[in-house]
Structure 1
Amino acid sequence: MRLASTEKDPAFNVDKEIALRVLTTQHERQQNAEISFLSCFRGTDLRRTLIVMGCYCITVLSGSTVRAYATYFFQQAGLDTEQSFNMSIGLYALGLLGLLGTWLLMPYFGRRTIFFWGQAVQTVLLLIVGGLGVAQRHASKSDSSLAWAIGLLLLLSSFVANLAISPILYALVSEIPSSLLRNKSVVLARFSYAVLNVVANVITPYQLNPSAWNWRASADLFWAGACLLGTVFTYFSVPEPKDRTIAELDLLFERGVSAREFADTEVSVRDIVDGAEKLE
């Protein structure tokens, strides 16, 4: 009862909720008797596993490693050491404000909606920063306005990432898998994230370092393209799990409902098992 939001739903019935969860688990066992890592890649669970893996990887594709190297990035963008450090502190402060802002957004907006628009805005910000980086190569070294513009936009991108991408990820990866395979799906998703993150952390210093690829701020053009890929993936593949029970999500995936139609498609838990009137 402590986990239930009785203020939002005064008619909440804990016995009915537990009965529904039991029936949902029985239904999932009928659909897939095995509970193994291989089961995550069979039937409808394959689609669900690929979605959570993609969602985890999107945090890297949205430029998380650039923000991780923020102080060095600011230096390569043209700010001095002291200002680069100060800007990095501001970046983490805005990231914290973004996380707090997520608490306000999630009760009113769907996870898919926030996740998608967060990436769309992030793509634009990274594209602008990358464009300014290109312009900076042809500008006078005494002109610091571009360096400050790049720095401020990177601060804004940190706010957007922590408001609408990173925290929403954890809701999606916990809600989209089936209840029986959730832990294994999350493990696979986290593994895919770790692999991609290793690659990103290897190439990012090469992108920023003047003695290597020397892309500097224009490296964000690369991450803008990566973030765009994540945005497209979200639009076509990531469904809306908000306000859906586990049973409803199971039915939607079993029927092959498009990710874009999840929020508007009506399903009934009566379709799961005969005699569902026991839940009344």
Structure 2
Amino acid sequence: MKTRALIAALALALSTAPALAETVRMAVTTSFENSGLADVLLPEIQEELGIEVELLVVGTGQALRLGEAGDVDAVLVHSRPAEEAFVAAGHATHWREIMYNDFVLVGPSGDPADVASAETAAGALAQIAEVDAAFVSRGDNSGTHQKELALWAGAGVDPETLGGSYNAVGAGMGAALNTASGLNAYILSDRATWLTFGNKGDLALLFSGDPEMFNPYSLLPVNPERHPHVNNDAVMELEAWLVGPRGEELINAYTVLDETLFVHSAVPQ
């Protein structure tokens, strides 16, 4: 009788225990993490979907390598050429744009290269090179680093020829901004990280608005045919939530210092 009672009690406990949350491991860029948006989205995702999202915060290049190896279920990055190549190689089922912000050029408030007068981002970098002003690069193959290199190419400048004035730190956006603040140097940053960055020192936002500095973020589900262990069903639920009305509401409402950091840009399918 005692055994039966114990079994019945265990069955009752199991039937009334809360269901364990699904888990999605997602590699995300440092700029997404630095913005603080994850602190808004992740609790809502867990409450509404029962999905716990574990973030691996790295640069875009490393995020895609984690996806290629099947070490995560999805990646959220911001480098469209790299995303398209990732899908074309079969590592992801597709890419889905979720939101965008933009890149900005930050530098000494005195602006020795007069980048504030430039008409394009490439022109601003050309002026920085011309006066041999200090510049800090993330140098980490992130989406921001790739955009920076594309802008240097547009300026007709190889940054490797800039010598000691070009400082590649091989670190995330926050660490790179700290270096730029310490050196009073120019740097390319995403707007969200710049707005939330606390150690601005004498740095100021000097140039923005060039269409070449548009910065879309996309979700890429890792291909379950390559890696059957990935939690593709939960990733699909997560994607539908992010592109839907609740994701749109929270992303568009998120502000820092009364400035909107991201614009929801997903197109329903």
Task: Please tell me the TM-score bracket, short chain as reference.
Answer: under 0.3
**Is the helix fraction higher in 1 or 2?**
1
Task: Report the TM-score when normalising by structure 1.
Answer: 0.24
Task: Report the TM-score when normalising by structure 2.
Answer: 0.24
Which has the higher relative contact order, 1 or 2, with Cα contacts under 8 A spaced 6 or more apart?
1
**Is the strand fraction higher in 1 or 2?**
2
